[in-house]
Amino acid sequence: MLILFDIDGTLLRTEGAGMTAMLSAARDLYPEHSFSFDGISISGRLDRLIWRDLMSNAGVEPTTHRHDAFRHAYGEHLRRGFDDTSRSMALGGAIDLVQALSDNDDYSIGLLTGNYEHPGRLKVAHAGFDLAHFKCNAWADDGEHRRDLPMVAMERHRLAHGKSIDPSQVVIVGDTPLDIDCAHFNGCNVIAVATGHHPLGELAGHEPDLLLPGLEDWKAIVSWMSGR
Ligand SMILES: [Mg+2]
């Protein structure tokens, strides 16, 4: 099986370090404009879409060249933030779950996330995960929307293992309705956790295959996966 983990609100939380670094990057690049996340949807969306809204709301035309400059500046601000006062904290059970799955040859693990690759790796490493565990990843730059990402991770799994994997053998683990949606859209299994900004009741309405308060009971999650 291929297990694909969302980052923010699922594996870890950063107390807004990402958004702070995004704003700092935007203000550095375009000091004559004023930026804010007011009215911008963040939860479960790809970084590039958030960037586009951030620029448009501030009257900066979102061009490809500007996107490249922003992505680089954002990564640098986040890196400096983590070197300074920002924190990335693993959520309960997450490190144990990833370790248990990576110790078992039946499972491959990856990240499926709205983060750009560099900031995503920074967050995961600073929370104490071993990045070497995550081999089949899909990042914000791998598609237009989250629905595009599962196929990218599955293709990377195929290239690594020399045979394709059926979507029924893929489990997506996430904390937002968009995580659940991208799993359903691609025919994958989905575990939803309420450790992000969406409570259990809201997530239940999107009908994940397994709904949990968090990853704390990781042994039960491994046993659920082994029964699929
Ligand atoms: Mg998330």
CA of 110 relative to ligand 1 center, distance in Å: 14
Are 191 and 70 a contacting pair, CB within 8 Å?
no
The answer to whether residues 79 and 112 belong to one domain is no
CA of 167 relative to ligand 1 center, distance in Å: 21
Distances (CA, A) of 127 to 130, 133, 171, 202: 9, 14, 22, 27
CB contact set of 33 (below 8 Å; sequence gap of 6+)? 26, 58, 59, 60
**Domain CATH number, residue 127:** 3.40.50.1000
The answer to whether residues 51 and 146 belong to one domain is no
Chosen domain end from 25, 58, 83: 83
The answer to whether residues 38 and 54 belong to one domain is yes
The answer to whether residues 205 and 152 belong to one domain is yes
Chosen domain end from 57, 83, 109: 83
Range of the domain at 137: 2-13+89-226
CA of 196 relative to ligand 1 center, distance in Å: 6
The model's pTM is 0.96
Q: What is the pLDDT along the chain (228 residues), one digit of tens a residue?
A: 999 999 999 999 999 999 999 999 999 999 999 999 999 999 889 999 999 999 999 999 999 999 999 999 999 999 999 999 999 999 999 999 999 999 999 999 999 999 999 999 999 999 999 999 999 999 999 999 999 999 999 999 999 999 999 999 999 999 999 999 999 999 999 999 999 999 999 999 999 999 999 999 999 999 999 998
DSSP 54-114: HHHHTT----HHHHHHHHHHHHHHHHHHHHTT---EEPTTHHHHHHHHHTSTT-EEEEB-S
CB contact set of 80 (below 8 Å; sequence gap of 6+)? none
CA of 199 relative to ligand 1 center, distance in Å: 13
Q: Describe the crossing of helices 94-102 and 218-226 by its angle, rounded to 10 degrees.
A: 40
Residue 228 confidence (pLDDT): 85
The answer to whether residues 9 and 21 belong to one domain is no
Residue 224 confidence (pLDDT): 96
The answer to whether residues 202 and 95 belong to one domain is yes
Helix H or strand E segment including 123: helix 117-126
Chosen domain end from 63, 83, 103: 83
CA of 37 relative to ligand 1 center, distance in Å: 17
CA of 44 relative to ligand 1 center, distance in Å: 5
The answer to whether residues 37 and 9 belong to one domain is no
The answer to whether residues 49 and 153 belong to one domain is no
User: In the chain, how many domains are there?
Assistant: 2
CA separation for the pair 137, 41 (Å, rounded): 24
The answer to whether residues 110 and 215 belong to one domain is yes
CA of 32 relative to ligand 1 center, distance in Å: 32
The answer to whether residues 222 and 140 belong to one domain is yes
The answer to whether residues 198 and 152 belong to one domain is yes
